[in-house]
Amino acid sequence: MDKQAMTAELLKAIKTYEELGFRYLPLKQDRITDLLHSRPVYAVSESREKIMTAPQPCLSLDKDSALQQLKEEIGDCTRCRLHKERKNVVFGEGSSEARLMFIGEGPGRDEDIQARPFVGEAGRLLTRLIEKMGMKREDVYIANIVKCRPPFNRDPEQDEIATCKPFVERQAEIIHPGVIMSLGRVSAQSILGMKMPIGRMRGNFFSFHNIPLMPTFHPAYLLRNPKDKWLVWDDAQKVLEKLKN
Ligand code: SF4
């Protein structure tokens, strides 16, 4: 198919999505770029006939609407076995304009009951860290790799992670924060697809969908090992420095 035909096909697809009521097009930047032979296309202009470049990571015109749409798409999800024992899907919360996003592993008991991420003891510690960094909890965005509580707080299985991870990826794409901090081993290894111990990953920046990502310890680990709090603070300092730049 030549470039002109591909462009026509792409416009047809965009029009169909638009007619279906979509305000966010679930295509990745590199995929669109491939389609158009390295011509970057990120956003749809008000004229649906026109393809234009813009410094946005997706076709969202409104981040809150895009997040709401994703939440509705997840709905009362039964895509993996974790749905069986959960009380609530814990979608995530915070500012859609957040410059800092936290990604944990999965909801625990309190989170499952309240349908909110990081609200138990570990959550209170995370809130204190956010405040120590000079922000309010509502300024940042907080989500998890899996959105349903694994029974007995076990680690999520690989297939559960693979099924649910696209949702947090889309949250990160929509919000497009300046920096992501992943919390704990499971989160860092799942996001980055690496088996490296968290003790070796933390303190270093990685890239996740072109967003700088700093792995650090999970607050639940810090409750058991308070002596390591200074390491997380050290990671937070690097994140603040990166956000300044
Ligand atoms: S963990 Fe994710 S994929 Fe599995 S049921 Fe819950 S929302 Fe769906």
Q: How far is the CA of 1 from the centre of ligand 1 (A)?
A: 38
Q: How far is the CA of 178 from the centre of ligand 1 (A)?
A: 27
The closest of 142, 131, 176, 194 to 24, measured between CA atoms, is 176
Q: How far is the CA of 228 from the centre of ligand 1 (A)?
A: 32
pLDDT at 212: 98
Token reading at 27: 């295509």
pLDDT at 245: 84
For residue 95, count other CB atoms closer than 10 A to its CB: 19
pLDDT tens-digit series, residues 8-37: 666 665 554 454 444 455 454 444 444 434
pLDDT tens-digit series, residues 152-177: 999 999 999 999 999 999 999 999 99
115 lines ligand 1 (CB under 6 A): no
Whole-model pTM?
0.77
87 lines ligand 1 (CB under 6 A): no
161 lines ligand 1 (CB under 6 A): no
Lookup result for tokens 């707080």: 153
pLDDT at 22: 45
User: What's the farthest any 2 CA atoms get from each other in the chain?
Assistant: 61
d(CA 244, CA 137): 19
pLDDT at 10: 66
For residue 195, count other CB atoms closer than 10 A to its CB: 7
Q: How far is the CA of 146 from the centre of ligand 1 (A)?
A: 6
First to last CA, the chain: 43
d(CA 110, CA 92): 14
Mutate to test the pocket of ligand 1, among 112, 144, 159, 164 (most ligand atoms within 8 A of CB): 164
Residues of the chain with pLDDT under 50: 16-17, 19-23, 26, 28-58, 60
pLDDT at 57: 46
Q: How far is the CA of 147 from the centre of ligand 1 (A)?
A: 6
